[in-house]
Structure 1
């Protein structure tokens, strides 16, 4: 299968027999490897040091030989050396700032942006089947945070809705406003909630404290992205989260869908109704030994998540993350094949960082300041 078909029809690509999926991903990754090998001096030097060329990648067993770029390199001031595309061809810069305050900067040229947009929109359509309704976005708008990767990914859902609203403005969130919008749409449109888990959790906590509950619609969905650990280090339990959504919003667990990705890659792994995050057909997830990242672990083993992305022409999309998890290749009841990925935690010693963490920390700090402020005399 050609890369263009994988991007434009990911639903069909994910339903191919496992053998066809494997042959297809090796082919497109070898082509991507050759593209950067021939055009990128920095990457070529890594290949020469490892003694590997595109001709050496003939089967899936050869994919671990492709040199990886640690995501920490995108935080360096000289990160432009990673680029295959000329700087003047860069159309978009996406940033992610963690609790350490050092941004990762991922630059994409026009072809890479086009592939990402088409692939993600096609994936949304396949997994969510949205074409109407109203979207309540528990996040800032792209106008307020134009370089934030998580917000960009959420914003692509707008085109599927008849109406939508963002309820985080100037890093402040008012749950009463969110509830007012949901009530305004009642009986008029199917209502969907989109945001990082911690902000959905804040809405649920407000409903619990106020002893309120809402009954959303039969086809309503809650779509999340951004990790399940707060900036304080506290984790949000997924089972508890799903249970509270059903109790306070009337949405069953199969309509709650989480996603996993990182700003350095065009990979967005989206959950099906069985809560398995499907790796898009243009990517391959390789789990690496934490003590020796050149070693690929067997399917099902826990290790560092590496992503090989065939769509990126801006820089080699062969990335070693700081995330720990597993892949599964067993058949999914939803009918999709290929890989599914499970994120467990950040590698020990890695900075806890993503867009959602930064938003939460800022909101919490603003609320503390506001609560402690001395009121002005009347």
Structure 2
């Protein structure tokens, strides 16, 4: 077994690489689905010397297989959203503390102490179903904020408007985290001039609206809320970590998460920085499932490790926690 604390204590690139290679060896030996995938590619730990050598499991496997590297009891199963009859992703979690440590440490790394914020959540499509990892995370952040005003909002936009306006005028630091279509509904109904509020979108139109490119969405939201920048959260059912953008669609990862891009024509080839490709994610918090995932998102990686989302592969289903399609 690998001590999860060693994952969250990573400080350097060398330490990340060493831990990622250790996790790869562990999952090769303990994850039946991932082992079968590696065997098909003729990849063993002796063949893997760098991050580029690691096989990345296509994210679709979370829909068709039980992806586990642990024999411990499953504590909860996070599921992706989907239309009736659609096969959804299932992320079986045997240790919820790892997820909690990941989102708590990730948030504090980028935004500081959660107790400094009133947390308001406008996530109707997620609240209306069970199994959302995003709801689990935001619910925990709301409780940890310890502000009586913190909470979820569903269809009560007028109450949210009053609360948001009052908090901002009182100078209280406020975080409004919302799914894209609901934030658009809010600014189409009310106009704001916020000075002490962070607006964070989690992506996703959920079939309620036509997809918008990021620049268009953010322009509408900036104008509607009266803010200079729109923040974004990048996460998904199959991950236990999140990346954050504080504006301009440039995301940064916590120390235990990395992005690589793969060639769109040759998925086994990892590209150099600056080129648009499929996003491969290393999320070491996924120690008990699979830490190496080939997503259906398209993006580019910058030299400093930050990344941008460009869109999605054609014919791939639109998932709730992903950003806009071009």
* TM-score w.r.t. length of structure 1: 0.74
SS in structure 1 of the partner of residue 181 of structure 2 = helix
Change (3 A) 1:45 1:135: closer
Please say if 1:198 is aligned against 2:181: yes
- Determine the structure 2 residue equivalent to 1:368: none
2:70 pairs with 50, 60, 85, which one?
A: 85
- Could you say what secondary structure the match of 2:285 adopts? coil
Q: 2:232·2:247 contact (CA, 8 Å) conserved in 1?
A: no
Name the larger-Rg structure. 1
Instruction: Quote the offset at 1:271 in angstroms.
Output: 1.2
C-alpha separation in 1, matches of 2:146 and 2:215: 28
Q: Alignment partner for residue 307 of structure 2, among 341, 345, 355?
A: 341
Matched position secondary structure for 1:292: coil
Residue 364 (structure 1) aligns with: none
For residue 78 of structure 2, the aligned residue among 89, 94, 99 is 94
Q: 1:122 to 1:317 in 2, by over 3 A?
A: same
Shift of 1:39: 1.9
Distance 1:356 1:203, change over 3 A: farther
Pick the aligned partner of 1:316 from 274, 281, 290: 290
Distance 1:349 1:250, change over 3 A: closer
Alpha-carbon offset, residue 33 of structure 1: 0.8
Contact kept? 1:99, 1:353, Cα under 8 Å: no
Give the superposition deviation at 1:197. 1.8
1:223 aligned residue? 200
Q: Which position in structure 1 is the counterpart of 2:226?
A: 250
Distance 1:121 1:48 in 2: 36
Q: Map 1:26-175 onto structure 2 (within 5 A).
A: 26-59=17-50, 63-76=51-64, 79-80=65-66, 82-86=67-71, 89-99=73-83, 101-110=86-95, 113-129=96-112, 130-140=114-124, 145-158=129-142, 159-162=144-147, 163-168=149-154, 173-175=155-157
CA RMSD of aligned residues (A): 2.8
2:163 maps to 181
Deviation at 1:288, TM superposition (A): 1.2
Name the CA distance, whole Å, in 2 between partners of 1:94 and 1:231: 21
In structure 2, runs of 5+ residues without a counterpart are none
What is the DSSP-based 3-state SS (H/G/I as helix, E as strand, rest coil) of the residue aligned with 2:80? strand
**Structure 1 residue 240, shift from structure 2 partner:** 4.2
Gaps (5+ residues) in structure 1?
14-19, 208-212, 331-338, 358-378
How many residues in Structure 1 have an aligned counterpart in Structure 2? 316
Instruction: Measure how far apart 1:295 and its partner are.
Output: 1.0
Describe the SS at the equivalent of 2:172.
coil
Q: What are the Cα deviations for residues 21-74 of structure 1, in whole angstroms up to 9, with x where unaligned?
A: 2x2221111110111122233333333333332233333xxx233222211121
